[in-house]
Amino acid sequence: MAHSQNTASFKEANKKYVENFPEAQGALTSPPLKRIAVVTCMDCRLDPFAHLGLLPGEAHVIRTAGGTAEALRSLIISQRVLGTNEIAVFHHNDCGMTEYDTFRLRTQIWNEAPKDPDGNISVEVSTALEAINFKPMGRLDGSVKADVKFLREHPLILYGESITGWEYDVKTGEITLVNVDDD
Amino acid sequence: MAHSQNTASFKEANKKYVENFPEAQGALTSPPLKRIAVVTCMDCRLDPFAHLGLLPGEAHVIRTAGGTAEALRSLIISQRVLGTNEIAVFHHNDCGMTEYDTFRLRTQIWNEAPKDPDGNISVEVSTALEAINFKPMGRLDGSVKADVKFLREHPLILYGESITGWEYDVKTGEITLVNVDDD
């Protein structure tokens, strides 16, 4: 069995969660009741259910290392298979994901990889490194607008007029609606 | 300004959240305190903070339409840029994402797209439809093992021995650790 520092705490916390699990929650189905998909960062300080007042069953929550483009497949499935008709895109300040750039991350991975006697990394690591696209992250300013614009203009995304853009402040917990139509 | 049914409720709920926002929470930084990345589905019934007893600041949470491969870029950034050394992969039962297959979804999108007088869809929709890879989702049984195996064997993922696989039961809220090493 794999070793994990967090297995015991997950099991203990979940035991209490199950004891208090409401019967009505167990009867919920997969199409989100509020027909919305929330796209936000994987950042450890963000708890979208809490800061948006969402309840289980109400919304899809898509979280990645900051990339809206990466959420595209999930959003299309959310709309076409599970009937959502709104998207809310959240960015936040002090994002750790903005501290790297693609070149720096590739160099870091190369430096950290095991080397053969000639100082070369393995073909497996080299091939995987070439194959992956570490899209550079934009800064908070302007990036919410760009993400909303990207989704609105995408040929496979529906309901463009109900896509909203938001900023979340990790220092205060406050969300702010961004006027994405203002140039 | 874009139209959204949920804007008012988000703002109202967030006002209360900000009023009760602990000062210590505002001082948290982006590297996760528990050094773990949780990968789970975007399903509306899943609230990983609640069912794992996680607090803000403790873990990356990556959520997509069920695909671990889709989480790959985020996981690499989580490990290399923000120092996590564990991954917990969650699948759940009654997943809406297993109700489609790639061919059916493509056909549905084609059927829903506007047609020109000759019955053809636009080049934009057609090109976007060709470009996107709707990876078909596996059923719950066996898929946790396959995802853990995929991550452990990926040349750019570190700490393979601390990757765990779990199942979440949407009917009861219960999590179960999967013995991924058992064949």
Helix (H) or strand (E) holding A53: none
| Amino acid letter, B139 | R
Q: What is the pLDDT of residue B32?
A: 97
C-alpha distance from B39 to closest chain A C-alpha (Å): 9
pLDDT at A22 over 80: yes
DSSP label of A121: P
C-alpha distance from B81 to closest chain A C-alpha (Å): 7
Q: What is the pLDDT of residue B2?
A: 59
Kindly list the distances between the CA atom of residue A118 and the CA atoms of A65, A107, A114, A130, in Å, as whole numbers in the listed order: 35, 18, 11, 20
* Bridge partners, B61 (sequence order): B38
Kindly list the distances between the CA atom of residue A12 and the CA atoms of A17, B41, B132, B167, B174, in Å, as whole numbers in the listed order: 9, 22, 40, 15, 11
Name every chain B residue with its beta carbon within 8 A of the beta carbon of A17. Answer: 50-51, 53, 173
The Cα B65–Cα A171 span in angstroms is 30
Tracing tokens 């190369």 back to the chain, one arrives at A110
- CA torsion, points B175, B177, B178, B181, in degrees to nearest 10? 170
Domains present along chain B, CATH in parentheses: 29-100+136-177 (3.40.1050.10)
pLDDT band at A1 (very low <50, low <70, confident <90, very high): low
**Mean pLDDT across the stretch B37-51?**
96
* Bridge partners, B178 (sequence order): B165
For the stretch B153-178, pLDDT in tens is 999 999 999 999 999 999 999 999 99
Q: What is the pLDDT of residue A138?
A: 54
Q: What is the pLDDT of residue A180?
A: 84
pLDDT band at B180 (very low <50, low <70, confident <90, very high): confident
ipTM score assigned to the predicted complex: 0.93
Q: What is the pLDDT of residue B153?
A: 93
pLDDT at A151 over 60: yes
Decide: helix, strand or coil at residue B59: strand
C-alpha distance from A150 to closest chain B C-alpha (Å): 13
Name every chain A residue with its beta carbon within 8 A of the beta carbon of B67. Answer: 73-74
The Cα B156–Cα B122 span in angstroms is 39
pLDDT band at A5 (very low <50, low <70, confident <90, very high): confident
> Quick check: A28 and A82 in contact, CB under 8 A?
no
pLDDT at A181 over 90: no
pLDDT band at B181 (very low <50, low <70, confident <90, very high): confident
**CB atoms B94 and A34 under 8 Å:** no
Decide: helix, strand or coil at residue A106: helix
